Structure 1
Amino acid sequence: MSSTPEESPAEPVETTGADPETVDDLRTVVDPASVRRAPRYAAFMVTGVVVGLVAGLALGLFLLATFDPQRDFPMDKPGVWLTVTVMGTTTLTTLLAGLLATVLDRRSLKRWNAHQDADRAV
């Protein structure tokens, strides 16, 4: 850190690094219809977490409401049971959402490759 001001360049420096002619050439070469659409993993995972929290809370509260100390084994801390149920359900649904995103990604990749092969054959 110096007390002297830095000299600013006379001409503005382009920071994009892309040549405008190259960008225009790329737009003429790339077909927007052939761009592969992959699922957004974060959206699937967040959906899995939300579904897991709601389902786990509903399941946990249902289990606590139907608990009968005379018939069932003793439950010392109901809050712990609810927490474990919610955490387990959330973990399961998040893993299932990730699996679904992976399956859809592989399916879209196969479909995209088949489309590319069909375009090359023509």
Structure 2
Amino acid sequence: MNPKISDFGLARIFQETVDMANTQRVVGTLGYMSPEYAMSGVFSEKSDVFSFGVLIIEIVSGKKNSNFHYYEQNLSLVAYAWKLWSEGKGVEFVDEAMGGSYVALEAIRCIHQ
């Protein structure tokens, strides 16, 4: 995996007193953009938190969000992580390559938070 964190220059649009803004042109990689930004161009600091969360989920699962699709229920990687966590099966989401080299509670917290 080659995670990349990029700056699309959105911070320049913000004024010091503004904590949310809208752009006419949505740029970025689908699957890493927050839903409100992808659908309507509305972004905030929460958009960055969402993107970082996707990156954490990729690290825990060993899967790339852009290549993942759970065909049985038509779910994205993020939706699949949420499904397993909601069912109390979050540990099943952890990359098998990690073996026993992780603390289960910490992995589940990464999925939930």
**Higher-RCO chain (CA-CA 8 Å, sequence separation at least 6):** 1
Query: TM-score range, shorter-chain basis?
Result: under 0.3
TM-score under structure 2 length normalisation: 0.28
Q: Which has the higher strand share?
A: 2
The structure with more radius of gyration: 1
TM-score under structure 1 length normalisation: 0.26
